[in-house]
């Protein structure tokens, strides 16, 4: 099983975005997680294309873009143009998940679909063969620094079992409240990509924290 760490730039120092992105680029983390919020789908606004540009310029790592926006189909192609390798949208944010997946694929990126804590893993059953990744939110989307919701572990297990049954190798990513303290449990449940914002950027030594998570 793969073990991928995706530090979330939401917790980076935006006054030193270039420095912080280069630190992740040097680190053992394989991906860079980018949280885009529109103030409608979630009660917060983060950043958009102009902020993605310096991140893309400062790293060659996989850009994992997490869209917390309403009607994501309108913008997915622009995120791919801005350098996204994975574009993940929310199941709850659109009436037409398939159109959104198709738009991401047509634009040349890998597609991910995410569920909020109140959404059951089972809703993804029919869509699982169509996407490269599913993202389980283990906090309410919108803010960094929240506590991990323990029931997320069961969702990871359900999705891992669904994948096995269907013979798929869809990546399972988890996002919210993750650190070296719970990374092992998540990998064991079947998660392969772990997002971490505050645990990485607020650590005394972010690069060591990433290694600790990878070796958890």
Q: Which is nearer to ligand DX5, 102 or 149 (CB)?
A: 149
Q: Is 35 a catalytic residue?
A: yes
| Range 121-150, binding Zn ion (CB under 5 A) | none
From CA 202, how far away is CA 182, in angstroms rounded? 17
Candidate list 20, 169, 175, 205, residue with the active-site label: 175
Q: Which is nearer to ligand DX5, 195 or 210 (CB)?
A: 195
Q: Which is nearer to Zn ion, 126 or 177 (CB)?
A: 177
Position 66 contacts Zn ion (CB under 5 A):
yes
For residues 205-216, b (16+ Cβ closer than 10 Å) or e, as one string? Answer: ebeebbbbbbeb
Residue 198 contact, options ligand DX5, Zn ion, none, Cβ 5-8 Å cut-off depending on partner type: ligand DX5
Q: How far is the CB of 38 from ligand DX5 (least distance, A)?
A: 12
Going by the DSSP 8-state scheme, the letter that residue 8 receives in this structure is B
| Range 182-201, binding ligand DX5 (CB under 6 A) | 195-199
Convert residues 23-62 into a mask of x (bound to Zn ion by CB under 5 A) and - (unbound).
Answer: ------------x---------------------------
Candidate list 20, 25, 35, 64, residue with the active-site label: 35
From CA 64, how far away is CA 35, in angstroms rounded? 9
The DSSP result for 158-183, as a single string, is HHHHHHHHHT---EEEEESS--TTTH
**Among 64, 86, 103, 144, contact with ligand DX5 (rule: CB under 6 A):** 144
As beta bridge partners, residue 64 has 33, 86
**Among 39, 43, 129, 145, contact with ligand DX5 (rule: CB under 6 A):** 145
Q: How far is the CB of 142 from ligand DX5 (least distance, A)?
A: 5
As beta bridge partners, residue 65 has 34, 87
The DSSP result for 24-91, as a single string, is HHHSS--EEEEEEEBSSSSS-B---HHHHHHHHHH--SEEEEEEE-SSGGGTHHHHHHTT-SEEEEEG
Position 43 contacts ligand DX5 (CB under 6 A):
no
Which residues are within 8 A (CB) of 182 and not within 5 positions of it... i.e. 6 or more apart?
A: 148
Judge contact between 68 and 141, C-beta under 8 A.
yes
- Binding residue count for ligand DX5, defined by CB under 6 A: 22
Position 146 contacts ligand DX5 (CB under 6 A):
yes
- Return residues touching Zn ion (CB under 5 A): 35, 66, 175
């Amino acid at each position: 099983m793969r073990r991928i760490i995706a530090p979330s730039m939401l917790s980076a120092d935006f006054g030193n975005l270039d420095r912080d992105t280069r630190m992740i680029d040097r680190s053992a983390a394989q991906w860079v997680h980018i949280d885009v919020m529109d103030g409608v789908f979630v009660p917060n606004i983060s950043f958009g294309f102009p902020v993605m540009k310096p991140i893309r310029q400062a790293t060659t790592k996989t850009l994992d873009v997490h869209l917390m926006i309403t009607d994501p189909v309108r913008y997915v192609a622009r995120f791919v143009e801005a350098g996204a390798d994975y574009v993940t949208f929310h199941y709850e944010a659109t009436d037409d998940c398939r159109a959104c997946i198709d738009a991401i694929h047509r634009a040349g990126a890998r597609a991910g679909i995410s569920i909020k804590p109140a959404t059951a893993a089972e809703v993804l059953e029919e869509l699982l063969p169509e996407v490269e990744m599913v993202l389980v939110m283990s906090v309410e989307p919108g803010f960094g620094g929240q506590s991990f919701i323990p029931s997320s572990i069961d969702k990871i297990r359900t999705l891992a079992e669904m994948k096995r049954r269907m013979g798929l190798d869809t990546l399972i990513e988890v996002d919210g409240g993750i650190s070296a303290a719970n990374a092992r449990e998540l990998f064991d449940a079947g998660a392969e990509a772990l997002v971490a914002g505050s645990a990485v950027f607020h650590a005394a030594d972010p690069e060591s924290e990433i290694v600790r998570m990878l070796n958890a």
